[in-house]
Structure 1
Amino acid sequence: MTLVTDTKAPRIAIVGATGAVGNTLIGLIESRGLRYRSVHLVASARSAGTELTVDGVAYPVQAVDEFDFGQVDLAFFSAGTEASEQWVPKATEAGAVVIDNTIAYRMDPDTPLVVPQVNAHELDERPKSGVIANPNCSTIPLVRLLQGVERRWGIRQAVVSTYQAASGLGHPGVDELKDSSRAALESPGEEYPNKEFTPSLAFNVIPKIDRFLDTGFTLEEQKMLQESRKILGMPHLDVTTTCVRVPVVTGHSEAVWIEAQGVVDRDELVEVLAELPEVTVHDRESRREFPTPTTIDDPYRVHVGRVRVNPNNPRAFWLWLVADNLTIGAALNAIQIAEELIARDTL
């Protein structure tokens, strides 16, 4: 039980508690023993009254439009960008620090964009905006690896292709993938009424995530560039990306090509990556080992494989990474931000 009376423990709220990331946040609060004085579960009016349990105690879900944020010190927001734009200012005005899991505040100059393993120093002071932004689910594992490469060799360029799971769109995305796959098997050739993915994700891959921009890139691809630069403090970092949705329930994968400033030795590269916090390199012992979304055994680590230096350009190398997008890519990063805030007495 992590419900305590210690006045140093925060009063917390989870906005979007009934969603996929909200559910994961609750599980992580329990498993990591995050201490709190009170917890409030908040969602849209249509979810109000639903009961969820935290540490074995049942709590009714409260409607966000009726919730008093003056009751909390720390609010996790994972209810979508529109909800964050509407309700985060209410929370910060009431005195709460917000950890926001949407795009709404990520590029705000007064809002730190934080991956604790990379730039936890941003949490030494309470942010001017009252908000700490949680990065994109594909950016988080990428920058955790890029930091190690930059420190050792420097980075000239990174080219990334993502393979992103249906749960990136929460419970509705997973439900639609399952239903459309079932329909495609039972009635081949018939159209399934898709809402979350167009075209259907069933037995398909879709090279478009989020909306198209005038550049021809998608917003998801632009996020990865802008966010990587901000988190790493490298405003001229050259990262280019193609983001693809794949028919996987949970677990984002990325194929990453990096050209470094200096010559890279594979054995040293493997050791550099393996020494990073909470990273597992699967081909450290055998080059034939690699992670996949269904085979990773620890959702709290970034999993790496297929590490190979380009024989025609020894400054360049490939690697393959897999990370659980609901934990590493969202909820765990948010919880680790909260843990750092508490440890640094920033709340």
Structure 2
Amino acid sequence: MAYRVVVVGATGNVGREVLNILAERKFPIADIAAVASARSTGDIIDFGDTGRELKVKNIEHFDFAGWDIALFAAGSGPAKDYAPKAAAAGCTVIDNSSLYRYDADVPLIVPEVNPEAIDGYTQRNIIANPNCSTAQMVVALKPLHDAAGIKRVVVSTYQSVSGAGKEGMDELFEQTRAVFVNDEKTIKKFTKQIAFNVIPHIDVFLGSDSDYDGYTKEEWKMAAETMKILDPEILVTATCVRVPVFVGHSEAINIELERPLSVAEAQRILRDAPGVMLIDKRENGGYVTPIECVGDYATFVSRVRKDPTVENGLVLWCVSDNLRKGAALNAVQIAELLVSRHLKKAA
């Protein structure tokens, strides 16, 4: 059976990647619509490498009735305005924004981690896609949690500028060029110069009325989403840093386990885990860096080692293409899961 699919925000980085991945994975499509804001209406974009071109439709006038799945990659504003309308019209929404992630009636899904949670989608006919940094982390944590129980996670992220959209990528490019030609370095998207620098600030700072006073919202998201997706008892503290990398998020993750787990056993578990690619050689270049993960589906894990500062501690390095597993790929995987668990049965 094939399905009628809408991609909302189709002209953005994530929307275009959604179209690419739908084509790559040969998602069963009967019809597809590319939808975006008024300023992109009428633009022509490619449907992956299928040779098919799509004319962008205006979301303000788009009728979701008769469509099966809408993959939203347009931010919280359009998700607030149009996702409920799509859902009410019978079109199941898979939303990449943060708007619905913490709603108790909306499942937050990483298919390798909590596929069974998708069964609750009928409450709102909306499914949430997690934050990019959370998605890759929980893929790596899940098999270790199943094996030895995770008590606490301390994570430091090194997040690429593509996580801030096209504007972030443009700013890194323009500032880098300015450094070499001795031009003025303009700061628009980020709070400080990103070229040849790192910025320990992603999203807004939280206030004193929160348990996460002094943390940024991105850091809070990693804790809240990990607890919703993986286990509400896991304690998470994060420091999220923007780095001058175009695509690919990296994470240094310290894990405190309930039970002992040797490094060799952890490596074996990770090697066999769905969605994980273990590349862990203790030699020069025996690990994965962001530039090597671009365009790949996997969450790469390297540098697995013992943390001698806590009982039952492990440390690992985790890298993934944030536009893919952190956003577009995970959304398409959710669509595939929805089809296999529900839509095929309903047909």
Verify same fold: TM over 0.5: yes
Q: Within the alignment, does 1:238 sit opposite 2:231 as a pair? A: no
In the alignment, the residues of structure 2 paired with residue 181 and residue 90 of structure 1 have an alpha-carbon distance, to the nearest angstrom, of 43
1:114-153 aligned within 5 A: 114-124=109-119, 126-153=121-148
Q: Within the alignment, does 1:53 sit opposite 2:51 as a pair? A: no
Please, which moves more after superposition, 308-317 or 145-154? 308-317
Superposed displacement of residue 94, structure 1: 1.2
**AA in 2 matched with 1:254:** E
Kept in 2: contact 1:24–1:331 (CA 8 A)? yes
Superposed displacement of residue 141, structure 1: 1.0
Gaps of 5+ in 1: 1-7
Give 1:92's aligned residue.
Answer: 87
Secondary structure at 2:291 match in 1: coil
Secondary structure at 1:11 match in 2: strand
CA deviations over 1:77-106 (Å, ceiling 9, x no partner):
011111111111111121110000000000
In the alignment, the residues of structure 2 paired with residue 195 and residue 141 of structure 1 have an alpha-carbon distance, to the nearest angstrom, of 28
CA deviations over 1:224-244 (Å, ceiling 9, x no partner):
000000001x22210000000
Q: Within the alignment, does 1:169 sit opposite 2:164 as a pair? A: yes
Give 2:33's aligned residue.
Answer: 40
Secondary structure at 1:127 match in 2: helix
Gaps of 5+ in 2: 208-212
1:96-115 aligned within 5 A: 96-115=91-110
CA deviations over 1:158-204 (Å, ceiling 9, x no partner):
1000000000012121111101111122116x3x2322111121111
Kept in 2: contact 1:112–1:127 (CA 8 A)? no
The TM-score, its normalising length taken from structure 2, stands at 0.93
Secondary structure at 1:135 match in 2: coil
> Residue 71 of structure 2 is aligned with which of 65, 76, 82?
76
CA deviations over 1:137-173 (Å, ceiling 9, x no partner):
0001111121111111111211000000000012121
**AA in 2 matched with 1:40:** A
Aligned length: 336
Distance 1:287 1:271, change over 3 A: farther
Distance 1:58 1:332, change over 3 A: same
Q: Within the alignment, does 1:208 sit opposite 2:205 as a pair? A: no
> Residue 227 of structure 1 is aligned with which of 217, 225, 233?
225
Q: Within the alignment, does 1:67 sit opposite 2:65 as a pair? A: no
Superposed displacement of residue 125, structure 1: 5.2
In the alignment, the residues of structure 2 paired with residue 185 and residue 86 of structure 1 have an alpha-carbon distance, to the nearest angstrom, of 43
Distance 1:237 1:125, change over 3 A: closer
How high is the sequence identity, in percent, across the aligned residues? 43
Secondary structure at 1:138 match in 2: helix
In the alignment, the residues of structure 2 paired with residue 80 and residue 140 of structure 1 have an alpha-carbon distance, to the nearest angstrom, of 17
Kept in 2: contact 1:264–1:309 (CA 8 A)? no
